[in-house]
Amino acid sequence: MSINFGIQSTLHVAIIMDGNGRWALARGLPRVAGHRAGADAVRRVVEAAPPLGIGTLTVFAFSADNWRRPTAEVSALMELFGRFLRAETERCLANGVRLEVIGRRDRLSDSLQCAIGRAEAATALGTRLRLRIAVDYSGRDAILSAVEGVDLVSRESVEGALGPPVDLLIRTGGERRLSDFLLWECAYAELVFSRRMWPDFGADDLAGAVREFRGRERRFGSVPAAMAAREASWLD
Domain harbouring 175, CATH code: 3.40.1180.10
Averages of pLDDT over each 10 residues, the chain, 236 residues: 46 98 97 97 97 97 97 96 94 96 97 97 97 98 96 94 96 97 97 98 98 92 67 59
Indicate if 66 belongs to the active site. yes
Q: Which of 66, 35, 60, 42 is nearest to 186 (CA)?
A: 60
pLDDT in tens, 50-59: 999 999 999 9
pLDDT value at residue 4: 40
Residue 6 in domain: no
pLDDT in tens, 149-208: 999 999 999 999 999 999 999 999 999 999 999 999 999 999 999 999 999 999 999 999
pLDDT value at residue 236: 59
> Are 136 and 60 within 8 A, CB to CB?
no
**CA 191 – CA 111 distance, rounded (Å):** 36
pLDDT value at residue 219: 87
Residue 127 in domain: yes
pLDDT value at residue 108: 97
Which pTM value belongs to this model? 0.90
Q: Which residues contact 229 (CB under 8 A, 6 or more apart)?
A: none
Fill in the amino acid letter for 24. Answer: A
pLDDT value at residue 8: 47
What's the number of domains the chain is made of? 1
pLDDT value at residue 144: 97
Domain that holds residue 60: 11-235
Indicate if 4 belongs to the active site. no
Which one of the listed residues 18, 136, 167, 205 is annotated catalytic? Answer: 18
Which one of the listed residues 4, 66, 106, 167 is annotated catalytic? Answer: 66
